[in-house]
């Protein structure tokens, strides 16, 4: 990355919708940004039986993000909404797309949860 430019920080927002907890992440999902994302997802998994992770605004995801997704998947019903191409590619390469529940949008993930 050129000097003076920094990677976008991860932003986490949360809300309930149709009996599910929705966690929206924006920016990079990497080792540096993982603590608040992990905390939000663990809280959501404990609060409601379905967690929807809206990844539509994720700009980058590394193996620490993949690890978190697989851990949360074991703890609750996880639905990943709007995965961007880079995240989809990682999920396909690792075979995680065969394990995780992927949806084109948050609306479709919520409808499937209901």
Band of the pLDDT at 5, cuts 50, 70, 90? very low
Per the CB < 8 A criterion, the answer to whether 53 and 69 are in contact is: yes
Reading the block at residue 99, the tokens are 């394990």
Reading the block at residue 79, the tokens are 């639905």
pLDDT of res. 21: 92
Q: Which CATH class is domain 11-113?
A: alpha beta
Domains of the chain by residue range = 11-113
Task: Please check the confidence at residue 15 and state whether its pLDDT lies above 50.
Answer: yes
Q: What is the pTM of this model?
A: 0.89
Give per-residue pLDDT as tens, 47-103.
889 999 999 999 999 999 999 999 999 999 999 999 999 999 999 999 999 999 999
């Amino acid at each position: 990355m050129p000097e003076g430019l920094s990677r976008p920080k991860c932003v986490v927002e949360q809300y309930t919708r149709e009996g599910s907890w929705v966690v929206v992440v924006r920016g990079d999902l990497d080792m540096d940004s993982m603590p608040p994302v992990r905390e939000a997802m663990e809280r959501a998994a404990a609060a409601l039986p379905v967690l929807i992770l809206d990844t539509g605004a994720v700009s980058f995801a590394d193996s620490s993000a993949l690890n978190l997704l697989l851990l949360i998947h074991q703890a609750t019903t996880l639905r990943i909404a709007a995965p961007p191409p880079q995240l989809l590619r990682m999920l396909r390469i690792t075979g995680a797309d065969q394990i995780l529940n992927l949806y084109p949008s948050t609306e479709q993930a919520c409808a499937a949860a209901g």
